[in-house]
Structure 1
Amino acid sequence: MAALPALATVADLAAALGRTFTPAQEAQAQALLEQASSVVRAYLRLDITRATTTDTFTMRRADPALHLCGGVITLPQRPVVDIASVLIDGVARHDWWQEGNEVLVRSWAWEQPPAAHRPPQVTVSYTHGWDPVPDDIRAVVLQAANRALVNPSQLRAETVGGESVTYLVPNGGEALGVLLGELEKRALRRYKILSGTVRVRGR
């Protein structure tokens, strides 16, 4: 699997700081942006950048109080932009529809083989993520990378707008690399429960 690109560029960071980097500083900035992007992705559990993925999931029974269908598959990457195909146990299906990041299968005979012995395996090919990266996500990546660039030893705490923000630093004082502060996590939080995605009907 190819490495995911940084969520902001060295040019973005240079423009935000109003400065020009030397070649050595550009390399350092690129490394820090890649670290910051990995930290943001890990926090959100999302790839963020637009991509197409084919993956296999275990279908679960639908909750009658939530879904009027036979089975449900939850896609981990959001937002879901398009679903190209849905295969259940290797067979293409068209009796499905999308709601948010869930694929709903119209009907399924759970009490008959093979579902009676094991849950169906569903292979979904879908496009997900943002293009371009949202400005607030990019801003958090730039801020986190810049903090590590200008303060490599990492502050233990600072006060921003009357609110204390703490950065984790080992007892020995050595830097941990790029970390997210509480205000940055708060700015990203809305992406952890995104619901407004494109709706696609099975064909």
Structure 2
Amino acid sequence: MAVLPSLATVADLAMLLGRSFTPEQEQQAQALLDQASSVVRAYIRQDITRATTTDAFTLRRVDPLRYGCVGAVTLPQRPVEEVTLVEVDGVATADWWLDGSELLVRGWSWDLPPAAHQPPRVAVTYTHGWDPVPGDIQAIVMQAANRVLVNPRQIRSEAVGGESVTYLIPATGEALGVLLSKVEMRVLDRYRRTSGTIRVRSG
């Protein structure tokens, strides 16, 4: 699987902070941005950046009288910009349409092999994601990376005079690293992929 690019660049982070980085600091900043990008992608379950993907799905049977089609698949990467190829059990078809992230197949025989033995498999080539990356996602990636960059020891407070140091670690004793705050999660929730149902427009 191709490595996904960071959702923000070192130059973006430097501009946000109003500073320049040494070569060593640039490497550290890039590593943190990569980590923060992975954390954000894992949370919202999206690649986010614009790409073209071919995925295979099992066609889901739906009520043709209600939906005007025999089956559907949910395309997981969003937003869906364009679908360039649909194949049902290896046969290319143009008898489909999109409703948001739902690809609806108008007609297919479920009573003949191989559909009679198992649901048809649908291969879809589609373009998805954002270009450019939404500003709020990019800002959260930079914030998450910067928290570690400016506080690598993850210290919340460090008193002098022999008093103990308080670290930003949970009760388990594991360092937090690059993680999201609850506020950042709430912002990202609008992009998060969740289970849904078919929404078919009439007409």
TM over 0.5: yes
Aligned to 1:178: 178
How far apart are the structure 1 equivalents of 2:29 and 2:176? 16
How far apart are the structure 2 equivalents of 1:67 and 1:4? 36
1:163-189 per-residue CA deviation (whole Å, 9 max, x = no partner) reads xxxxx8344645232000000001111
1:110, distance to aligned residue in structure 2 (A): 1.8
Q: Contact 1:153–1:174 at 8 Å: present in 2 too?
A: no
Aligned to 1:97: 97
Q: Contact 1:33–1:141 at 8 Å: present in 2 too?
A: yes
What amino acid is aligned across from residue 73 of structure 1 in structure 2? V
SS in structure 2 at match of 1:115:
coil
What amino acid is aligned across from residue 59 of structure 2 in structure 1? M
For structure 1, list consecutive stretches of 5 or more residues without a partner in the other structure: 157-167, 196-203
Aligned to 2:60: 60
Aligned pairs (5 A) from 1:11-160: 11-63=11-63, 67-154=67-154
Aligned to 2:160: none
1:64, distance to aligned residue in structure 2 (A): 5.5
| Number of aligned positions between the proteins | 185
1:34, distance to aligned residue in structure 2 (A): 0.2
For structure 2, list consecutive stretches of 5 or more residues without a partner in the other structure: 157-167, 197-203
How far apart are the structure 2 equivalents of 1:192 and 1:68? 29
Q: Contact 2:14–2:21 at 8 Å: present in 1 too?
A: yes
How far apart are the structure 1 equivalents of 2:174 and 2:192? 31
Structure 1 stretch displaced more, 97-106 or 55-64: 55-64
What is the root-mean-square deviation in Å for CA atoms of aligned residues? 2.2
How far apart are the structure 2 equivalents of 1:175 and 1:32? 15
What amino acid is aligned across from residue 18 of structure 2 in structure 1? G
Aligned to 1:2: 2
Q: Contact 2:63–2:70 at 8 Å: present in 1 too?
A: no
1:63, distance to aligned residue in structure 2 (A): 4.4
Q: Contact 2:39–2:178 at 8 Å: present in 1 too?
A: yes
Q: Which runs of 4+ in 1 moved over 4 A?
A: 63-66
Q: Scaled by the length of structure 2, what TM-score is found?
A: 0.84
Q: Contact 1:153–1:173 at 8 Å: present in 2 too?
A: no
Q: Scaled by the length of structure 1, what TM-score is found?
A: 0.84
How far apart are the structure 2 equivalents of 1:65 and 1:106? 11
Q: Contact 2:7–2:141 at 8 Å: present in 1 too?
A: yes
Structure 1 stretch displaced more, 173-182 or 1-10: 173-182
1:148, distance to aligned residue in structure 2 (A): 1.2
1:112, distance to aligned residue in structure 2 (A): 2.8
